[in-house]
Amino acid sequence: MAKLSTAELIDAFKELTLLELSEFVKEFETTFDVTAAAPAAVVAAGPVGAAPAAAEEQDEFDVVLESAGDKKIQVIKVVREVVSGLGLKEAKELVEAAPKALLEKVDKEAAEAAKEKLEAAGAKIAIK
């Protein structure tokens, strides 16, 4: 088997759908016994008796589709717009699997914009 260059691999990945790429990542993780998840941040404990630090304001939000409502087709169209790289089939499956996270770890402005668009289409959305 010929060795593929990094550019050739990237070109091959560009041709995959989001679901195919997800299946590839799972197979890669299984085959090489690794994980593609970002490492969790390590939090150092302060000295004993120190006052607890003020809670930091949340800066990452998840946009969760609770239900599609009565206008499922419009919601599917907006989901394709909000979640990049989704085909019609993937968007439909995502909407039908509600409650389901559509966007994860996005900033507040992006979460609010997505919520506004989806609610205008008739979906019920929660931001966590």
**Domains annotated on the chain, with CATH:** 1-35 (no CATH), 61-127 (3.30.1390.10)
pTM across the whole model:
0.51
Residue 54: pLDDT band (50, 70, 90) is very low
- The predicted model gives 41-49 an average pLDDT of 49
In the block, residue with structure tokens 């260059």: 5
Residue 117 pLDDT > 70: yes
Q: Give pLDDT, residue 40.
A: 47
Q: Give pLDDT, residue 120.
A: 87
Residue 59 pLDDT > 80: no
How many Å apart are CA 54 and CA 43, to the nearest integer?
Answer: 14
Q: Give pLDDT, residue 25.
A: 82
